[in-house]
Chains A and B, each alone.
Chain A
């Protein structure tokens, strides 16, 4: 045991030394490759920004003679599209940048809107500084190769024109060419150590100017949460109302009927026992109906199969009760938080009710997929389409349920069909 304790530290330090070297070089290369990729990505949006800048200048100039006024909405729309592209790009490499609110409709209001002004100044900076940095990012790796290998092929160039990528000095012999090739190492050093700063510099205007103004994003978020919270409470109240009604008008009435028929039967016993038997039979029927009602209410609150088994099982049992043939593809659903699964179940239930009631479809397909941390539901039918979310209470219910979970909801239903309902829910697990 004793020798092992002595030797081991030596082995450890040996290994750690090579690892140390690795640890320094590898991340450095990776960082600089990432940075170059970002710079080139930035170059793409910078070119678009340059186009915007050009259009803005044309608009501004023609505004003097009046014609340009017609161009302003188009120019603003284009700026918004390009800015959103940059927001997406920046969101991929760093903290998410939320899109701003839509620009105010009026021309004067739009131009006075601080968010629009910030976007316009971003266009100006990104189309110049961003473009320059992007071009540098593109040229750097090329220069590393060109100048690094210069001593191999300088003699192929016509005498007097054999220069480095900078255009000087003019190289006469191999020694000078080797010296000039050192420039390749300089480019490499820049590529390794300066590019990430360049990429950050290129991103800076976008991060500063395209993020919603201080306060704005919170205001937006609060407004959004307030709306979905209200929708959640609405959905909740609607749900309670539905359950209350189902119990009062269904189950309770059935039980009242049982009691009433039993009362009638007791009165009939003395008069005519045969009548009493008939009435008792009806009372029993009513009791059985009450039980069936109660079961239906319980299932509509939270289907037992959902808590006992899984979402695909629950959806399968839904499909069997739907008069339209339904194909359930839910193998990729995985497990999600109970409330999410319940929402998914009710979304599908309401969608299938709609399909059966209104679509005239021959068949429907329900697909459930877990994509990253979201549960995606797609319900497609081959009916006659033309579904309108503003009139159908079922579709409104789907939307409320989805939004209550901070989910999204898309309805596509052209006249003639097919109708597609897509719901995406954060899984919460």
Chain B
């Protein structure tokens, strides 16, 4: 797996590169600002870009802008965004065009190396990885809309794990239920959220986006 890292903090940038190389992953380039990051993406055509949200010059959302631009230049590039804090607007920006090959994690998740690597591989493999904190924030809204109200507590648990990017098997493991039970819950979620099986979009991502979008509109 060929990786480009964009992170302006030298210690984190080098630490992350060291950590990934120790795991036999191929870090082909590191960058400390959006410009060199985009140049590195053009030059190396990596499989995954790991991008910090706050980068020079203004330290606001340069990372998100750069990630979106990198995906425009290289469609299919997997992007894992690291953020110092939960900002669902960033998640919504990122996921606006679908959640495939996208991840949005808090920086400290890197410390749990096994879980971080699982998320990295999931994103590189075409999946989604949304930080549990982001998902939790979205699901504990005080006034969810009517459609979200229809979900049972169990279905909300399942949707939360879906939003993190877990597959059916992984969800079944986490919730200590059978594969079939998860499948049933998910069908029920799609029905309650009025996501028809025929409209061609990835319904799992659509369900998550429904949450993100809804939460964003109300915040």
User: Is A50 among interface residues, defined by CB-CB distance under 8 A?
Assistant: no
A267 within 8 A of B: yes
Assuming the contacts A259-B110, A263-B110, A263-B112, asked whether A249 and B19 have C-beta atoms less than 8 A apart, the reply is no
Whether the Cβ atoms of A260 and B59 lie closer than 8 Å is no
Interface size classification for chain A: 20 to 34
CB nearest to B112 among chain A residues: A263
Q: Which of A253, A266, A275, A282 contacts B113 (CB 8 A)?
A: A266
Which residues in B have their C-beta under 8 angstroms from that of A330? Answer: none
Residue B183 CB within 8 A of the other chain: no
A275 pairs with B59, CB closer than 8 A: no
Determine which residue in B15, B59, B108, B116 has the highest number of CB atoms from chain A within 10 A of its CB, and name it.
Answer: B15
**Interface hits, A279-307 → B, CB 8 Å:** 279, 282, 286, 289
A262-B112 Cα distance, complex, nearest whole Å: 9
Q: When the two chains form their complex, are residues A249 and B23 in contact, meaning their CB atoms are under 8 A apart?
A: no
- Asked if A208 is at the interface of the complex by the 8 Å CB criterion, the answer is no
Q: Are B22 and A263 in contact (CB under 8 A)?
A: no
Q: Tell me whether A264 and B12 are in contact in the complex, defined as CB-CB below 8 angstroms, given that A253-B84, A259-B111 are known contacts.
A: no
Q: Are B110 and A260 in contact (CB under 8 A)?
A: yes
Q: For A289, list chain B residues within 8 Å (CB).
A: 11
A260 contacts B22, CB within 8 Å?
no
**A248 and B12 in contact, given A256-B108, A267-B22 (Cβ under 8 angstroms):** no
Residues of A within 8 A of B216 (CB): none
Q: Is B145 an interface residue (CB 8 A)?
A: no
Partner of A257, one of B11, B59, B112, B116: B11
Contacts of B18 in A (CB 8 A): 264, 279
Contact B111 A260 (CB under 8 A): yes
Closest chain-B Cβ to A393's Cβ sits at a distance in Å of: 14
Residue ID in chain A nearest B117 by CB atoms: A267
Asked if A259 and B11 sit within 8 Å, CB to CB, the answer is no
Cβ contact within 8 Å between A256 and B107: yes
Chain A residues 222-255 with CB under 8 Å of chain B are 245, 248-249, 252-255
Contacts of B1-38 to chain A: CB distance below 8 A: 8-9, 11-12, 15-16, 18-19, 22-23
Q: Which of B11, B23, B107, B108 has the most CB of A within 10 A?
A: B11
CA distance in complex: A252, B11 (Å): 12
Asked if B85 and A249 make an inter-chain contact with CB atoms under 8 angstroms apart, the answer reads no
A259 and B85 alpha carbons, distance in the complex (Å): 16
- Chain B residues within an 8 Å CB radius of A268: 22
Measured CB to CB, the residues of A under 8 A from B are 245, 248-249, 252-257, 259-264, 266-268, 271, 275, 279, 282, 286, 289
B residues contacting A by CB (< 8 A) are 8-9, 11-12, 15-16, 18-19, 22-23, 54, 59, 84-85, 107-108, 110-113, 116
Interface pairs (30), CB distance under 8 Å: A245-B59, A248-B54, A248-B84, A249-B9, A249-B54, A249-B59, A252-B84, A253-B9, A255-B108, A256-B12, A256-B84, A256-B108, A257-B15, A259-B108, A260-B15, A260-B19, A261-B19, A263-B110, A263-B111, A263-B112, A263-B113, A264-B19, A264-B22, A264-B113, A267-B23, A271-B22, A279-B18, A282-B15, A286-B11, A286-B15
